[in-house]
């Protein structure tokens, strides 16, 4: 059913109906080798910034060229932002993939008193590739952004006044019965494996963050990041559901 | 603080106070090389079946021998059981690790109409090692059990009458506001990448399962498995919290 479920493809820049978009080399290969799209086939394109287009594949070589038939700009109605302490080794790789699949907006790696991100663990290029692949896989339109490491205080200042701020803490309140807001920005904080210090926790709580506990068991940093993302994603389901209902009624 | 937070170690069999437990070769190595435990040091041991002991390291070579000082048998007050369709390639490996960290009780790989578990993707030995490492990491006392693949109908029959059964389904009800039960068995079902057929879904719903949507975006099988586990784990936090409160009050 190629027409019913067109391949979901990355385009750096989109354009309006009638225009032609030439894909980058890597994305052209993805169209021909992974999606095995044929000339004349319909494709869906996203720029990862809310732009989604539909078009037909006109040329394959040397690059894929798609003639745009429809273009829409989606608004992001809810944002999930995670401030995350250093994970061990390359363990954060798969968290990036999973956070992107779950639709998280932004990750800010934070430098904490007890642990700093190791240069080897910061793999910006790899993370961007993983996030992009996950975006296409989940047919999303907003690319997960992973920032450069920054101090906790700076990250907190940059994410001032969220709709809700939560701190993952084994002593926190249960997440059962606490839904993530279905609009606006929800900010989560997950400490490094070594934990946050009392003064770091105090500075977070002083900004109105609520301490929540994600699980009865002790979680690794990347597992807590993922559990937070799942909790956040669950908060958006009531909205998706009501949209789906209104679309079919 | 070796005494305050003793290393958490695997023992195939535990025994009562005064008895000596000799660890297996692999677990002995873990004690000396990973935990770097010294003679006379206190260790915590679990058999992964609810048994937790405290003891002192008496001998290191050729195997670690621990003299038990205290033994308790924990009851599992809530169980999380996942029936999971085939994941792609070896992608289920990390789901096993994360499900174990989140405290899930059992995974039943299910054979579905549109997808069957590939032999290569079934890595029982590796999964057991991953689950055990995750158990020790999270200082848990119940080892995640991963069964052999079975037909959906057989798995459903084996998990009859759960406290709550849920089916991950993009058309389901939101998880926001639906807490996983804080006692008894919660059964979740996640379909394979190819999806469940309508008749499979009907057979599941006929057994009283509630369709729930875990995220507004399309998730891979292993990501949905993990999001389900995070939702389930969140349902136990109110219980952990009230226990922690009564312990300190």
DSSP-derived secondary structure for B75-103:
---EEEEEEEPPPSTTTHHHHHHHHHHTT
> Is B194 within 8 Å of A5 (Cβ atoms)?
no
Question: What gap in Å lies between CA A148 and CA B154, rounded to an integer?
Answer: 49
- For residues A247 and B89, the model is more confident at B89
pLDDT of residue B113: 97
Which of A138, A140, A234 has the highest number of chain B CBs within 10 A, making it the mutation to test binding with B? A234
Tell me if residue B51 falls in helix, strand or coil. strand
Which one of A101, A227, A241 has the shortest CB-CB distance to B102? A227
Q: How much is the average pLDDT of B39-58? A: 97
Q: What is the pLDDT of residues B13-34, one digit of tens each?
A: 999 999 999 999 999 999 999 8
Question: What gap in Å lies between CA B211 and CA B232, rounded to an integer?
Answer: 15
Which one of A138, A213, A223 has the shortest CB-CB distance to B240? A213
The reply to whether A220 touches chain B by the CB within 8 Å rule is yes
The reply to whether A52 touches chain B by the CB within 8 Å rule is no
What ipTM is given for this predicted complex?
Answer: 0.90
**Assessment of whether the complete model's pTM goes beyond 0.95:** no
> Is A122 within 8 Å of A159 (Cβ atoms)?
no
Do the Cβ atoms of A237 and B216 come within 8 Å? yes
The fraction of chain B above a pLDDT of 90, given in percent, is 80
pLDDT of residue A22: 97
Question: What gap in Å lies between CA A118 and CA A113, rounded to an integer?
Answer: 14
E-strand stretches of chain A? 7-10, 20-22, 42-46, 51-59, 65-73, 78-84, 106-111, 145-146, 150-151, 164-174, 184-190, 210-213
Residue A43: CB atoms within 10 A of its CB come to 22
Do the Cβ atoms of A223 and B173 come within 8 Å? no
Q: What is the pLDDT of residues B98-157, one digit of tens each?
A: 999 999 999 999 999 999 998 877 788 999 999 999 999 999 999 999 999 999 999 999
User: B210: which strand partners?
Assistant: B166
Per-residue pLDDT for chain A (249 aa), expressed as one digit of tens each? 334 578 999 999 999 999 999 999 999 999 999 899 999 999 999 999 999 999 999 999 999 999 999 999 999 889 999 999 999 888 899 899 999 999 999 999 999 999 999 887 778 899 999 999 999 999 999 999 999 999 999 999 999 999 999 999 999 998 887 889 989 999 999 999 999 999 999 999 999 999 999 998 899 999 999 999 999 999 877 655 445 444 443
Question: What gap in Å lies between CA A7 and CA A36, rounded to an integer?
Answer: 9
Buried b (16+ CB within 10 A) or exposed e, A11-41: beebbeeeeebbbeeebbebbbeebebeeeb
pLDDT of residue A143: 97
- Calculated CA dihedral for residues B17, B18, B19, B24, nearest 10 degrees: 80
Residues in chain A: 249
Do the Cβ atoms of B223 and A139 come within 8 Å? no
């Amino acid at each position: 059913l190629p027409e019913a479920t067109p391949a979901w493809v990355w385009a750096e820049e989109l354009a309006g109906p009638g225009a032609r978009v030439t894909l980058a080399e890597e994305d052209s290969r993805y169209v021909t080798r992974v999606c095995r799209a044929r000339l004349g086939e319909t494709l869906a394109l996203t720029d990862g910034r809310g732009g989604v287009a539909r078009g037909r594949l006109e040329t394959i070589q040397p690059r894929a060229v798609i003639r745009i038939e429809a273009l829409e700009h989606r608004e992001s109605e809810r944002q999930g932002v995670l401030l995350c302490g250093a994970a061990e080794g390359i363990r954060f790789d798969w968290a990036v993939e999973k956070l992107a699949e779950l639709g998280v907006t932004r990750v800010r790696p934070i430098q904490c008193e007890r642990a700093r991100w190791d240069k080897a663990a910061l793999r910006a290029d790899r993370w961007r590739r993983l996030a992009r692949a996950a975006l296409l896989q989940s047919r999303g339109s907003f690319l997960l952004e992973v920032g450069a490491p920054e101090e906790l205080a700076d990250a907190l200042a940059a994410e001032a006044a969220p709709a809700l701020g939560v701190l993952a803490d084994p002593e926190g309140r249960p997440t059962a019965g606490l839904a993530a807001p279905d609009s606006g920005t929800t900010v989560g904080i997950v400490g490094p494996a070594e934990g946050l210090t009392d003064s770091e926790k105090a500075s977070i709580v002083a900004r109105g963050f609520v301490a929540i506990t994600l699980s009865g068991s002790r979680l690794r940093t990347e597992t807590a990041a993922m559990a937070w993302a799942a909790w956040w994603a669950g908060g958006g389901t009531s909205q998706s559901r009501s949209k789906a209902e209104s679309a079919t009624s």
